[in-house]
């Protein structure tokens, strides 16, 4: 990964053509000398403004917007006009604007993508253009370090959004640059448009995607294979992130390609590292060892599977056997507990089965319909994790049951967007009389309860995937491994403010994200070096590379050629 430079940059662009290039445009901040050399005189008002003045003006416009979607659209327009200023603005107001640029607002932006679309960004690979992928990639003039790709089938908790899912790769890569310092020019969002089964989108006159039912089976597999080969030919050292694919495809694609290129699935692996890291933070507050915890997980999709696998690995690293680790985790789908007495379970669900012999003495019949409350009542969990997309899935009954069994129960309603969260933090605190340790998937305001303000940490992947990108690039890693994600989770847990102050939040604030990402990137890079899949260098050099490679949103002097 090349180091972003603060040296002057030469350009052949002049006048309006230069101002229409968002990676070079400075707007009213072009200096007098630049306006002369680059033929900008007369195209701008005469006063030269500073970036700080531009940020203040834009923030005033941002605050004047009425709805979150209007604010999201405004920020995207800024990005399309002046990318450096966009990131400088976000960095100044990161806690306020991150939920606007990404979750939860990006969900609505995907649903209304055709309505708010203004300027193309990234690449669209439609199934109808499956024989033209190399030609499409010729539209990318620069070397690319990070690609985020989706087919739009499982956008957050909102389901199939087809081509509207492009909002997710755009948003994710914004966070790579904002939080991880990945140079925007070296990122590429991609949408694989294989149709949509969302009738509302197909019937919407503003829908911009291919108006066809989704391609499936071998045709789908061949299409993705052609795409991956084109990526490997064009960008052989790129980091490719799979994002928001349906559960049945997500694990299949990861398994198929994880040993062929540098790739990972954020819904499976990034979510897992964020979840496990947050669990480690919470468990440190309880004072009870990790190996004595019991976990109930609601949701057996991609996120649930990722959480399960990394949690098992983490428990094993703390001294348990694999069987002992699996015995401490109970996973439920919509039909109840996953156990080895259930028939017909395939794919990822078949990998998360509880040993039925260990359930002897439970007070209900596992072969008959049962609820999460039944499982909680019998399993006596210390932590409840939700990845269901079902608001209210954490019932008052089960929450109170947990509070009666453990002094500091841990609750992680992780579903996005906010409307899909399994529980409200205010309810969790009320039902546990303020003893709950809480982290959510979407942002929630602090809650006043019991005479103090409880900060609700967001167990968001934003702590993880930018660090993976930064760490991978710093040491030229050729693969992304489970060990690297466990290292990231441990580093996140070690950074918990609650480890120092039990009344503090479980995770650091977003205002500290760049410093935290560097620490997690160091852990990821060290692990890659230890596994022999990256440059063989020491920790001091890794730190230097990370510092050098972090892009900072500041204007560079432009010169004419």
Catalytic residue among 112, 172, 258, 309: 172
Q: How far apart are CA 327 and CA 187, in angstroms?
A: 42
Q: Return the pLDDT at 4.
A: 56
User: For the packed helices 396-405 and 372-379, what is the interaxial angle rounded to 10 degrees?
Assistant: 0
Q: Does domain 290-313+321-452 have CATH number 3.40.50.720?
A: yes
Catalytic residue among 102, 176, 463, 555: 102
Q: Where are the alpha helices (DSSP H) in 318-367?
A: 322-326
| Total length of the chain | 561
Of residues 79, 276, 70, 304, the one with CA closest to residue 175:
79
In percent, the amount of the chain with pLDDT more than 90 equals 93
102-121 per-position pLDDT tens digit: 988 999 999 999 999 999 99
Q: Return the pLDDT at 5.
A: 60
Cα distances from 456 to residues 356, 505, 509, in angstroms, run: 36, 7, 10
Instruction: Provide the Cα torsion 488, 491, 457, 314; round to 10°.
Output: 70
Of residues 186, 157, 176, the one with CA closest to residue 5:
186
| Known catalytic membership, residue 102 | yes
pLDDT less than 50: residues of the chain? 3
Of residues 313, 329, 330, the one with CA closest to residue 321:
313
| Known catalytic membership, residue 127 | no
Q: How far apart are CA 249 and CA 92, in angstroms?
A: 38
3-state class of 283 per DSSP?
A: helix
For the chain, give every domain's residue range.
Answer: 50-245, 290-313+321-452
**290-313+321-452 shares the fold of 50-245:** yes
Q: Do residues 112 and 136 touch, judged by C-beta distance below 8 A?
A: no
Q: How far apart are CA 155 and CA 257, in angstroms?
A: 22
CATH number of the domain at 50-245, please? 3.40.50.10380
Q: Do residues 454 and 428 touch, judged by C-beta distance below 8 A?
A: no
Which H/E stretch holds residue 147?
strand 146-150
Cα distances from 119 to residues 45, 71, 116, 122, 179, in angstroms, run: 25, 17, 9, 10, 24
Q: Do residues 514 and 561 touch, judged by C-beta distance below 8 A?
A: no
Q: Which residues contact 354 (CB under 8 A, 6 or more apart)?
A: 326, 327, 329, 330, 331, 337, 338, 339, 340
């Amino acid at each position: 990964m090349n180091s972003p430079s603060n040296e002057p940059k030469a350009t052949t662009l002049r006048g309006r053509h230069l101002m229409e290039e968002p990676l070079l445009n400075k707007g009213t901040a072009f200096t007098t000398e630049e306006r002369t050399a680059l033929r900008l005189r007369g195209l701008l008002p005469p006063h030269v403004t500073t970036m700080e003045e531009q940020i203040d003006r834009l923030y005033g416009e941002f605050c004047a917007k009425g709805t979150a979607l209007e604010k999201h659209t405004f920020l995207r327009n800024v990005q399309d006009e002046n990318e450096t200023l966009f990131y400088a603005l976000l960095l100044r107001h990161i806690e306020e604007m991150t939920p606007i640029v990404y979750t939860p607002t990006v969900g609505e932006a995907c649903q209304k993508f055709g309505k708010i679309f203004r300027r193309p960004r990234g690449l669209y690979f439609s199934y109808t253009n499956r024989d033209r992928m190399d030609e499409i990639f010729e539209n990318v003039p620069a070397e690319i370090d990070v690609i985020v790709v989706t087919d739009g089938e499982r956008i957050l908790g909102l389901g199939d959004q087809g081509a509207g899912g492009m909002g997710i790769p755009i948003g994710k890569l914004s966070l790579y640059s904002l939080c991880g310092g990945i140079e925007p020019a070296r990122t590429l969002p991609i949408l694989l448009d294989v149709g949509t089964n969302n009738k509302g989108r197909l019937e919407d006159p503003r829908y911009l995607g291919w108006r066809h039912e989704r391609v499936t089976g071998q045709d789908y597999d061949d299409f993705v294979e052609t795409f991956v080969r084109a990526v490997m030919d064009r960008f052989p050292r790129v980091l490719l992130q799979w994002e928001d694919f349906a559960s049945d495809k997500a694990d299949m694609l990861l398994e198929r390609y994880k040993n062929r290129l540098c790739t990972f699935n954020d819904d499976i692996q990034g979510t897992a590292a964020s979840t496990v890291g947050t669990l480690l933070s919470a468990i440190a507050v309880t004072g009870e060892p990790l190996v004595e915890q019991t976990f109930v997980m609601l949701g057996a999709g991609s996120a649930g599977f990722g959480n399960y696998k990394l949690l098992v690995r983490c428990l094993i690293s703390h001294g348990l056997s694999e069987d002992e680790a699996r015995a401490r985790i109970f996973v439920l789908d919509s039909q109840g507990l996953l156990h080895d007495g259930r028939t017909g379970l395939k794919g990822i669900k078949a990998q998360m089965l509880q040993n039925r012999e260990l359930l002897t003495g439970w007070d209900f019949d596992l072969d008959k319909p049962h609820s999460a409350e039944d499982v909680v009542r019998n399993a006596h969990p210390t932590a409840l994790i939700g990845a269901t997309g079902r608001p209210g899935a954490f019932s008052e009954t089960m929450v109170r049951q947990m509070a009666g069994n453990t002094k500091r129960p841990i609750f992680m309603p992780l579903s996005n967007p906010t409307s899909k969260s399994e529980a409200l933090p205010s309810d969790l605190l009320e039902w546990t009389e303020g003893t709950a340790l809480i982290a959510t998937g979407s942002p929630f305001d602090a809650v006043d309860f019991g005479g103090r303000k409880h900060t609700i940490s967001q167990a968001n992947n934003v702590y993880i995937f930018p660090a993976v990108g930064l760490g991978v690039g710093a040491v030229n890693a050729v693969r992304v491994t489970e060990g690297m994600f466990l290292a990231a989770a441990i580093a996140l847990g070690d950074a918990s403010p609650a480890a120092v102050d039990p009344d503090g939040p479980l995770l650091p604030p977003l205002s500290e994200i760049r410093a935290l990402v560097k620490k997690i990137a160091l852990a990821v890079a060290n692990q890659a070096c230890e596994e022999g899949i990256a440059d063989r260098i020491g920790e001091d050099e890794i730190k230097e590379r990370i510092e050098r490679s972090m892009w900072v949103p500041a204007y560079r002097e432009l010169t004419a050629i």
